[in-house]
């Protein structure tokens, strides 16, 4: 199959799973790290191909992941005669699956809901199951399958071996471990750095209404792009796919409102490279395993950090380079900072291409499509009727007219002008002219209200209060305005200052987090005269100044 070197999770898990004594096992690794082979190859070595009983049960959260797992298990077992692998899942007719269960497969891959249905119909027996694999366990819990898992495991023997694979380890999974596993061995792969080594994480700042036009420009800039666009809701996913499709782009939607046959058809077209971009929700895209994706695009950033790592992990696989590109509005910078802090990822700001950059590319694409257009048999008859109208016209004249018509319609809604949000040039939306907006990583949870934060900013920076504009305090961060005359290098005045041993970070709202080396920085200067803030200054760790706010 082309494997030459095991992935980190495979290298660590396989020797344990093939050990002399069967053991319960926990594998922590992100999607795309080779988990299916990590448990699939040992299982095919451990089961008895001569026994006509179901010995292995693999539970998966979605039908897409279940299908993918079953397909890989079939490929792994091609040279092992007698081994049968079947997959059952909801959203499809149960009749073929009832017939498949009569074949008594040694390996059964299933989604929880459909498996419970088959158990209740007495169409499947789990009495002989020796190994249970809970794949993407955290996602199964997120989707509300906790009770289904409990019910399914109650139908398996008590002496079974349980292997659990997950990207994260929330408390609910720890409960499953304590309830169903006996002294499990645990392997944890460095889930962020290992998965994302070959991925460049980028973002652009644009108005929410300009996100689709901006996505269109990136599609035009990279005609060879092949990727997934993640959206928040099913409705949003379908609308964006329709909008791009109506503009001539090879884009389709994948979400829970589609029937199983529709989803299968979309995935077949995506895997056979018949489309450039797949618009999908997080749940629908779970388990998609498609090689050579160049991009992952985020129309909206997910609420959970784990979902971002799952999304971005769809590209940059098997040593290939990939790009994860987020489209954010001017108020979502704080979300990027949070992702950076929790994942260790560094985001690079990039620009939405200008229309001038894309004009030549779009015209070439138009010409290519025109030349590739199949000729309708009926066209010849119509041509004979219309030919007198074109009599005496040169080919170059007709081409120029066609080209002019294309130039008139080459820009869709919101396509003209610069789509990048230029906060530093014209102030943030709803703000005051003559001011620049800044971000600081403290908020109400640190004990600050608007008055206290204003006092702290004036005290620590040394500016006069009249230079401080609007102040907006959120739960774990705040935004404030500083007069243009004081904004240059303003964030540098807070370098080396800590709040209860946590470094205070101040950035222009349009910028990413500071990437300056810590090194030996000049000590900040403090000015009094405005009353002391509700707190005190003292020497912090590493001789940094420390400010303790009032909780």
Query: Is 60 exceeded by the pLDDT of residue 331?
Result: yes
Phi first, then psi: give them for residue 5, nearest 5 degrees.
-135, 135
Mean pLDDT of 133-137: 93
* Domain ranges, residue 308: 196-355
Residues 318 and 457 in one domain: no
The CATH number given to whatever domain includes residue 225 is 3.40.50.300
Query: Is 70 exceeded by the pLDDT of residue 116?
Result: yes
Residue 369's pLDDT is what? 79
Each residue's pLDDT tens digit, 48-64: 999 989 999 999 988 88
Residues 207 and 197: their CA atoms lie apart, in Å, by 30
Contact 493, 475 (CB under 8 A): no
Mean pLDDT of 477-492: 86
Q: Name the band, by pLDDT with cuts 50, 70 and 90, for residue 238.
A: very high
Residue 195's pLDDT is what? 44
- Average pLDDT over the chain, rounded to whole? 82
In a domain, 379, yes or no: no
Residue 144's pLDDT is what? 81
Residues 337 and 465 in one domain: no
Each residue's pLDDT tens digit, 413-463: 445 577 887 654 333 333 445 678 888 988 888 888 888 898 889 888 889
> Closest by alpha carbon to 549, among 438, 437, 459?
459
Q: Name the band, by pLDDT with cuts 50, 70 and 90, for residue 543.
A: very low
Residues 196 and 167: their CA atoms lie apart, in Å, by 14
pTM of full prediction above 0.85: no
Residues 162 and 202 in one domain: no
The kind and range of the H/E element at 399 are helix 395-408
Residues 58 and 166 in one domain: yes
Contacts (Cβ under 8 Å, ≥6 apart) of 488: none
In a domain, 371, yes or no: no
Domain boundary among 143, 174, 189: 189
Residues 347 and 431 in one domain: no
As a whole-number percent, the residues of the chain with pLDDT over 90 amount to 33
The CATH number given to whatever domain includes residue 504 is 3.30.70.330
């Amino acid at each position: 199959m082309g494997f030459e070197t095991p992935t980190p999770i495979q290298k660590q898990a396989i020797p344990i799973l093939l050990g002399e004594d069967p053991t319960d096992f926990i594998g922590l690794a992100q999607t795309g790290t080779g988990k299916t082979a990590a448990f699939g190859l040992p299982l095919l070595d451990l089961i008895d191909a001569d026994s006509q009983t179901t010995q292995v049960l693999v539970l998966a959260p979605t039908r897409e992941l279940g299908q993918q797992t079953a397909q890989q298990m079939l490929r792994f077992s091609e040279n092992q005669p007698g081994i049968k692998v079947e997959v059952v899942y909801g959203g499809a007719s149960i009749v073929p699956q009832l017939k498949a269960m009569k074949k008594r497969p040694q390996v059964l891959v299933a989604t929880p809901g459909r498996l419970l249905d088959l158990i209740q119909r007495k169409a499947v027996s789990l009495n002989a199951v020796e190994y249970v694999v809970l794949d993407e366990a955290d996602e199964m819990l997120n989707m509300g399958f906790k009770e289904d898992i409990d019910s399914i495991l109650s139908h398996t023997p008590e002496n079974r071996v349980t292997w659990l694979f997950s990207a994260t380890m929330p408390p609910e999974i720890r409960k499953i471990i304590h309830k169903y596993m006996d002294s499990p061995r645990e392997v944890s792969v460095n889930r962020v750095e290992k998965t994302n080594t070959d991925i460049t994480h980028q973002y652009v700042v644009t108005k929410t209404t300009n996100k689709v036009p901006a996505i269109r420009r990136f599609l035009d800039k990279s005609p060879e792009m092949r990727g997934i666009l993640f959206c928040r809701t099913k409705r949003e996913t379908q609308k964006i796919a329709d909008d791009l499709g109506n503009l001539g782009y090879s884009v389709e939607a994948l979400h829970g409102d589609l029937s199983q046959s529709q989803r299968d058809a979309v995935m077949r077209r995506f895997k056979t490279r018949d489309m450039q971009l797949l618009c999908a929700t997080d749940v629908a895209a779970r388990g998609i395993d498609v090689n050579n994706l160049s991009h992952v695009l985020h129309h909206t950033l997910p609420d959970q950090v784990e979902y971002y790592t799952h999304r971005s992990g769809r590209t940059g696989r098997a040593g290939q380079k990939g790009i994860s590109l987020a489209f954010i509005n001017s108020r979502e910078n704080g979300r990027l900072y949070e992702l950076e802090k929790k994942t260790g990822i560094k985001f690079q700001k990039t620009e939405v291409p200008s229309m001038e950059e894309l004009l030549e590319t779009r015209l070439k694409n138009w010409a290519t499509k025109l030349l590739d257009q199949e000729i309708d048999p009926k066209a010849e008859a119509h041509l004979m009727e219309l030919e007198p109208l074109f009599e005496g016209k040169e080919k170059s004249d007709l081409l120029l007219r066609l080209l002019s018509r294309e130039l008139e319609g080459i820009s869709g809604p919101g396509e003209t002008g610069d789509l990048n949000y230029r906060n530093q040039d014209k102030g943030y939306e709803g703000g005051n002219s003559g001011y620049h907006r800044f971000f600081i990583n403290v908020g109400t949870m640190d004990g600050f209200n608007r008055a206290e934060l204003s006092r702290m900013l004036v005290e620590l920076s040394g500016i006069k209060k009249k230079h401080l504009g609007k102040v907006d305090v959120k739960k774990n961060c705040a935004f404030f305005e500083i007069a243009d005359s004081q904004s240059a290098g303003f964030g540098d005045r807070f370098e080396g200052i800590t709040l209860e041993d946590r470094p205070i970070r101040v950035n222009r709202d349009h910028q990413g987090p500071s990437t300056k080396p810590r090194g030996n920085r000049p000590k900040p200067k403090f000015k009094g005269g405005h009353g002391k803030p509700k707190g005190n200054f003292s020497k912090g760790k590493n001789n940094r100044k420390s400010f303790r706010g009032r909780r």
